[in-house]
Amino acid sequence: MLAAMPDSAPSPLSAGGPALRDGGDACPGTLRLHRADDGALARVRVPGGVLSADRAEALLAAAGRFGDGELHLTSRGNVQLRGLGAECGGGLAELLAGAGLLPSAAHERARNIVASPLAGLDGSPALGERLAELDALVCASAAAASLSGRFLFALDDGRGDVDALGADVTLIADGDAFLLRIGPGDEVLRIPAAEGPRAALRAAEAFLRAARDSGAWRVKDLPDPVRSELVRAVGSAAGPAEHRPRPRTAKAPEPGTHGPGDRHGPGGTPETTPGSGAAPETTPGPGYAPETTPGSTDALPDAHRHANPHGPAHTAAPDHPPPDPPASAAALAVDVPLGRLTPGQWRLLTATARRYGGELRLTPWRGIVVPGPFTGAEAADALGALAAAGLITSPDSPWTGVGACIGRPGCAKSLADVRAEAGAALGPAGRLPVYWSGCERRCGHPHGEWIDVVATPDGHRISYVRGERRYPPATVRDDPAALAAAVAAARARAL
């Protein structure tokens, strides 16, 4: 039977220190559910975010049969089902297992693997075989069943997108080898490509041994001497460590078309890659606070300032004529407003996948890549249909980079309906992503560089976050216009 869970532990971001094992692993899964005000919640792990069309249909069936019908994407490329009945029992597990989405009951919360969503589609190395191998190794390891639901593996194709997410064990493609990064440090170990997945599993098993005394959930929570010894022990058979700075900013695939030779993204902006020199660390002046200019959103149409996440205003008209459509495309990328998909949207994505490449790739930025191939006309038609369904198909959309926790009324701890507030505060697409949280727990918050908006008893607190650093915040009282202006100014600010 599926069991209801206790409330999950606070986010380490707000705890002021390492997260230690002072209780059971509270991360939800498919065999142990989380209680919420809108019903029980299940989190289905999707390693690498890769879903066949058949498995995507199975998830939709599960959402409709047992939950509220909608599917919610997470910041690790997984899927959450909400509004589940307390008596759904083994039916959900049986459906998911039958579709191949639950290969090992003992490991269902340990299969946290993110992967570069454009790998193999834009001239970058393909990762599918290594991803499948790593997942199989994790499921075959008795020790790995003890990994917490917070522990994260990453497979990066070399561009640095998921390397920037600060996983516990990261494999980075580098020619005929993988670079193995353990924790958030800047040292890597060079591993032959064929040995990469097994080396990643060994690193995870070594972490479990190292964490016995400290009670750490993740590598970053280990005491510094223990973490250093872990890296040394794992690297003893791999040769000397190399210095390879971890990218500090994660870059999601831009909405639109992608193809071979398009490694720099459809807008022509180079991706941050390990060793290429990530954006330098910058320090705002004392007392940094986002500028607040009430009225700065007055020029925006009402549909953009007060849009419904499932309304027609997902895509804003670009400030310049769109480029000519490509002759062909290897993949399409779309973003999902607030990570929430209606049954109709999911059905359209699945049908598009079935017609072309046969799979969907869920991204850690709550987006979806649809592999092709597509002709230019097919890509334009598919993007048009997806845009009409309310998905983000252009980086100019006001929804680009906007995220939020579930908020009220789904969460009892939330102080506000932050999803409605995020929609009401929409403005031009900003340089920085923004994430709205209904309380200090900040469930599902992004990583890297972002604007943090938290509901408080006194209004909303707006902070700039870069990696593990948080800068002095500004507080906006209960004034929706001032809040929208402050968020827009924070997102646009060049630090």
pLDDT digits (tens, 9 = 90+) for 388-401: 999 999 999 999 89
- C-alpha to C-alpha distances, 226 to 25, 229, 230, nearest whole angstrom: 22, 5, 6
pLDDT of residue 285: 30
pLDDT of residue 248: 81
CA 167 to chain centre: 12
Name residue 322's amino acid: P
pTM (whole model) above 0.85: no
pLDDT of residue 381: 97
pLDDT of residue 446: 83
Structure tokens at 415: 């102080």
pLDDT digits (tens, 9 = 90+) for 177-190: 999 999 989 999 99
Residue 89's pLDDT band (cuts 50, 70, 90)? low
pLDDT of residue 319: 39
pLDDT of residue 34: 78
pLDDT of residue 324: 59
pLDDT of residue 264: 46
pLDDT digits (tens, 9 = 90+) for 130-169: 999 999 999 999 999 999 999 999 999 999 999 999 999 9
pLDDT digits (tens, 9 = 90+) for 443-452: 888 877 889 9
Kindly report the average pLDDT of the chain as a whole number.
83
**Residue/partner pairs of 442-445 with CB below 8 Å, 24 or more apart:** 442/11, 442/13, 442/14, 442/405, 443/8, 443/11, 443/405, 443/406, 443/411, 444/74, 444/75, 444/339, 444/403, 444/405, 445/11, 445/13, 445/75, 445/403, 445/405
Q: Is it the case that residue 315 has pLDDT exceeding 50?
A: no
| DSSP secondary structure, 108-168, as one string | TTT--EEE-TTTTTSSSPP-HHHHHHHHHHHHH-TGGGGS-TT--EEEE-SSSTTGGG--S
Cα–Cα nearest to 118, from 465, 363, 467: 363
Residue for token pair 């180079």: 270
pLDDT digits (tens, 9 = 90+) for 67-80: 999 999 999 999 99
Q: Is it the case that residue 101 has pLDDT exceeding 90?
A: yes
Beta bridge partners of 436: 404, 453
Least confident piece of the model among 169-173, 269-273, 363-367: 269-273
More confident residue, 312 or 489: 489
Strands (E) located in 379-471 = 402-404, 434-437, 449-456, 459-466, 469-470
